[in-house]
Amino acid sequence: MSADLYQSHPLFSIEYGKHDSNYEMPNFHYHNSYELYILEEGHHHFMVNDSLHDIKMYDVALFRPNSFHKSRGNHSCARTCLYFTERFLRLHFTERSIGQLLSCFDQSVISISKEAFPRMKKLLLLLDKENVSDPDNRIFIYLADILNLMNEHKQTPSAGHVPAAYANFAPILSYINQNYNRISKIEEIAEQFFISKYYLCHIFKEATGMTLIQYLNNIKIQHACSLLVNSRLSVLEIGNACGFNSSMYFCKIFKQALNVTPSGFRKRAAE
């Protein structure tokens, strides 16, 4: 695991990236913002929480705050990512408007038509030219236009959502996500699906790019972060609630993941 497991984004940011076929996102991560992952060239697949999805050119992947996700490469691609927080939305829109704009996030993937994509690209270029620190910037206007465009296309989700090779893998992810704090060994998962431990570990690494133990610990740390911020439970209680068998092991894994202790994370989040 790495310190990139949790990412804190500013109110709004835009990021363009181009990757060759050798690029591979090293780990799952989640962040405090909404994300629009707009694929402009190429194709690949990604995982979000307990689902797998194929995305192709002109598709947009949508991630709500604190969604556990990871893109899987093996194909060259170019994408633009938009990040915006709940606070950014509340600074510029009414409660009703926010609900309508964010309705597109009910889907994980939306396909933008080839005819409408130039409109999307024009808005992205306009956004990229805006100065976030300028009080008169028009970022919120362009973002609203993009979200409206997404909502216009939300009834036409991308066709091959789940990669065919992993069509039977989703139940395993779902089981882990629902029982992460009760799973004490890999054999329990293998027995649940009537497969060998070796085969389970093999298909898991092939599908996700990480070991099952790494994934399980990531899930536990994600939930621990949420409890550290949103509850008054002690570090010991949070470790137990998330399935760690000792507070020492919990603190060790947490620090490996985020480069900070659970107590330090809680203190930083409160600042």
Give residue-wise pLDDT tens across range 176-207: 989 999 998 999 999 999 999 999 999 888 87
Strand order in the sheet with 59-63: 12-19, 77-84, 34-42, 59-63, 109-111
> CA 176 to CA 186: how far, in whole Å?
10
| Beta-strand relationship, 59-63 and 109-111 | antiparallel
* Residues forming CATH 1.10.10.60 domain(s) in the chain: 168-270
Question: What's CA 73's distance to the chain center, in Å?
Answer: 15
Q: What is the DSSP letter of 29?
A: B
CATH number for 6-152 (one of 2.60.120.280, 2.60.40.10, 1.20.1260.10, 3.10.20.440): it is 2.60.120.280
Q: How many CB atoms lie within 10 A of CB 95?
A: 8
* Residues forming CATH 2.60.120.280 domain(s) in the chain: 6-152
Mean pLDDT of 68-80: 75
CATH number for 168-270 (one of 3.40.50.12160, 2.140.10.10, 1.10.10.60, 3.40.50.10860): it is 1.10.10.60
Give residue-wise pLDDT tens across range 6-46: 666 789 999 998 877 666 665 667 778 899 999 998 877 77
> CA dist 95 to 10, 89, 91, 109, Å?
21, 9, 10, 24
Please give the model's pTM, rounded to 2 decimal places.
Answer: 0.76
